[in-house]
Chain A
Amino acid sequence: MTTQLLLVQALNGLQLGILLFLVAAGLTLVFGVMDFINLAHGVQYMLGAYLGASLAAATGSFWWGLVLALPAALAAGLVLEVLVFRHLYARDHLAQVLATFGVILFLNEGVKVLWGAAPLQVAVPPLLEGGIEIMPGLQYPLYRVAVLAAGVVTAGGLWWLVERTRAGMLVRAGATNAAMVSALGVDINRLFTLVFAFGAMLAGFAGVLAGPIFSVEPGMGDNVLILAFVVIVIGGIGSIRGAFVAALLVGLIDILGKSLMPDLMRLFLDASAARQAGAALASMLVYVAMAAILAFRPAGLFPVRAG
C-alpha cells in the first residue's frame, strides 16, 4: 500500500461520503422534522440515476440530463408524498417502515419493467473527461473531482439555506418541536411537503452524479439507503452538520476499510483467506462503527432534540 494509492482511496472515500451526504441530508430532515422513517429514500436516489441516464441519452447531453432530472425527481417525490407518505405521518414508525418498504418493492420492480434488469452505462460528460495530476505522476479522474466539488458546494448551499434563511429556520424549529411551530401559525403540512420534495431532489441529484461512476441498476438504492441511515444515526437525527461529518466518516471508513483490510488481514492469514476475511470485515466496519458510537452516544454525534 503506497501513499499514492492511499491518497486515491481517501479521495474515493470522501467522494462516496459526499454522495452519501446528499442522500442523507434529505433523509435526516424528513426524519428530524416529520419523525418519519422513509425507507423509500434510497429508491429516489435510484430514480434520479435512471432519470439522469435516460434523459441524458434522449437529449444527447449529460448536462441536459442533469438539468431535467432534478425537477423530475422533485415531481416524483411530490407524487409519492401525496399518494403515500402523507397518510403515514400520524402513524407509528412500524407502519412507516412497512409502507415505504412496499414503495421500494414497487419502484425497484417498476424500474426493471421500464428500463430492463441490465445495468445502464452513463458516459462521463466530455467536459469532465480525463484526469488531473494531484501528485507528480498520479492522475485522478476529473469527473470524480467535479463530483466532490459539486457536493461540497451543495453542502455549503444547504448549510446557508438551513442556517440563514427563514425557510431553514422553520425547518430547524420543526426538527426541534413540530407541534410548537404548528401552534405558532406555520402551515406545518406545507413545510413537510416542501422538505420532502427537496430531500427527494437532493437524493435524485446524488443519483445523477453517481451515474457515470457506479452502474445504474435496479436495487442500487438499497445499499445507499442503509448507509445513509447509518450516516444519520451516527450524525444525530435531524442534524445537517452531523450528517455531513458522519457521511464523510462513513465514506472514508467504507472505502479505506475495503482497500486496507485485506492487506491488514494478510499479517495473520494466507493470501486468499485474507482477501475473504478482509472483505467481510471491511463490509462490517461501518456497522461496527455505528454500533460503537450508539453504545456510547445513543443520540448520535450531534443530537438535535434535547432529551
Chain B
Amino acid sequence: MLREAWLPLVVLVALGVAPLLGFGGSYETTLMARAMILGMAAVSLSFLVGGAGLVSLGHAASVGVGAYAVAILDAHGVTEATLVLPAAIGAAALFSLLTGAIAIRTSGVHFIMITLAFGQMAFFTASSLAAYGGDDGYTLYSRTELLGTRLLENRLAFHYICLGLLAASWGGCAMLLASRFGRVLRAARENPQRVEAVGLAPYPFRLLGYMLAGAMGGLAGVLLANATEFVSPATLSWQRSGELLFMVILGGAGRLWGAILGALAFVLLETWLAQQMLHWKLVFGPLLVLAVIFLRGGLSGLVARHHG
C-alpha cells in the first residue's frame, strides 16, 4: 500500500514546490487550485465508491451546499472562516445525512438514481435562490477571512491551504478506511449478508460514511467558492457529479490516491483540450469512453501494475 503510494506523494510534493519553480503566476495557481479542490471532492467520493461501494451520482450537491453556504453567509456579511467553515461543513453534512437516510435504504442502480434525484433537487433549489443570484449565480464580495486577516487573498497562502487540506483529506480518508469503522464499510461492500451475520447492521456505518464524505465535499465547496469568488447552480449540476465520478474512475476507484491523480489529469486534459479547439468535448467524450473500456483499474492501477 505505502510502497505504491510514492506517486501521489511525488505529486503532492510537486504541487508544493511548483509555485517556487516559476509556476507561481495567477494562471498556474488558479489551475492548480482547481485541480486540488476537485481532488479533495474526488477523494471523498472515492472513499464512498471504492471504500463503501456507494456509487453516488449526486456528490456535486454536497460540494455545492458548501459553496452556497459561503455565498449566503457572504451576502449577510459573514466572512469569518471560523464561522463559515463549521456552517458550510455542517450544512453539507446535514444535507448528506438527510438524503443518505433515504438513499442508503436502496442499493445498486436505485442508489445511483436516487442520489441523482437528490442532486437535481439541490440544483433546482439553488437555481431558485433569487436573493443569491438564482440561475446566474452569485459573486462573492470578498474571500473568506481567517481570524480577521485576508490570508486567503494571498495566492501562495491559498495554494498551500488547498494543498494541506487535500493531503489532510487523503490521509483522513485513508485512516478512516483502515480503522475498524472502515473495515466494516469495506466488508459491507463485499458482502452485506456476512456483515449482518457477524452481528453488525451495515446501514448506520454506511450512513455515517455518506455523511462524512458529504462533509468533506462541503469543505471542498468552501474552497471552490473562494477560488473562483463565484458560486452558481452549475456547481451542483449532475454533469459535475458525473465529472467527479470520472476523476475517481480515471484515477482508479480501488485506491484513494487515484482520485488525486484523476482530478489532476482531468483538469489538465480539460484545460489543454479547451485551448486546442473550440469543440474539445468531441475529443474528451470518446477519451472518456476509451478510458472506461480499456483503462481498467485507472491510472493508479497502471502505476501499481508496473511496481506490483
Contact = CB atoms under 8 A, between A and B. Distances in A.
Contacts of A295: 102, 105
Interface in B237-287: 238-239, 242, 245-246, 249, 253, 279, 281-282, 284-287
A276 B128 contact: yes
Interface in A80-106: 84, 87-88, 91, 93-95, 97-99, 101-106
A287 B117 contact: yes
B130 interface: yes
Given A99-B293, A102-B288, A106-B281, A93 B117 contact: no
Interface string B109-152: 11011101110110011011010001000000000000000000
A110 B284 CA distance: 12
A226 interface: yes
Interface stretch (A54-62, A65-73, A277-285): A277-285
A290 interface: yes
Contacts of A294: 102, 105-106, 110, 114
Interface string A90-130: 01011101110111111111101100000000000000000
A291 B117 CA distance: 8
A180 to B, nearest CB: 20
B128 A229 contact: no
B117 A290 contact: yes
A201 interface: no
Contact of A98 (B105, B242, B281): B242
Given A94-B249, A101-B246, A229-B116, A84 B281 contact: no
A277 B129 CA distance: 8
Contacts of B110: 233, 294, 298-299
A18 interface: no
Contact of A226 (B116, B128, B279): B116
A280 B124 contact: yes
A291 B125 CA distance: 16
Given A94-B245, A105-B284, A226-B238, A99 B289 contact: yes
Contacts of A110: 282
Nearest to A219: B239
B285 A102 contact: yes
A91 B292 CA distance: 10
B42 interface: no
A31 interface: yes
A212 B253 CA distance: 44
Given A98-B246, A99-B293, A284-B125, A233 B114 contact: yes
A291 B118 contact: yes
A289 B239 CA distance: 22
A29 interface: no
Interface residues of A, number: 46
B108 interface: yes
Contact of B128 (A87, A99, A280): A280
Contacts of B292: 88, 91, 95, 98-99, 102
A295 B118 CA distance: 13
- A-side binding surface: helix, strand, loop or mixed? helix
Given A84-B289, A94-B49, A106-B286, A298 B105 contact: yes
- In this complex, which of A91, A277, A280 has the most chain B Cβ atoms within 10 angstroms of its Cβ? A280
A291 B246 contact: no
B57 interface: yes
Instruction: Name the interface size band of chain B.
Output: 35 or more
B288 A98 contact: yes
Contacts of A31: 109
Contacts of A98: 242, 245-246, 249, 288, 292
A230 interface: yes
Nearest to A283: B124
A93 B282 contact: no
Interface string A32-62: 0001010100000000000000000000000
A22 interface: no
A163 B121 CA distance: 36
A93 B109 contact: yes
Given A99-B288, A284-B121, A295-B102, A113 B242 contact: no
Nearest to B292: A99
A287 B108 contact: no
B67 interface: no
B55 interface: yes
Contacts of A108: 281
Contacts of B127: 280, 283
A106 to B, nearest CB: 3
A95 B296 CA distance: 9
B246 to A, nearest CB: 6
B109 A113 contact: no
Nearest to B287: A102
A108 B284 CA distance: 12
B282 A113 contact: yes
B114 A87 contact: no
30 contacts: A31-B109, A84-B293, A88-B292, A93-B55, A93-B112, A97-B55, A97-B242, A98-B246, A99-B289, A101-B246, A102-B288, A105-B285, A106-B281, A106-B286, A107-B285, A108-B281, A110-B282, A113-B279, A226-B120, A229-B113, A229-B116, A230-B113, A233-B109, A237-B109, A283-B127, A283-B128, A284-B121, A287-B118, A291-B114, A298-B106
Given A237-B109, A279-B128, A291-B114, 5 more contacts: A93-B108, A94-B253, A105-B288, A112-B279, A226-B238
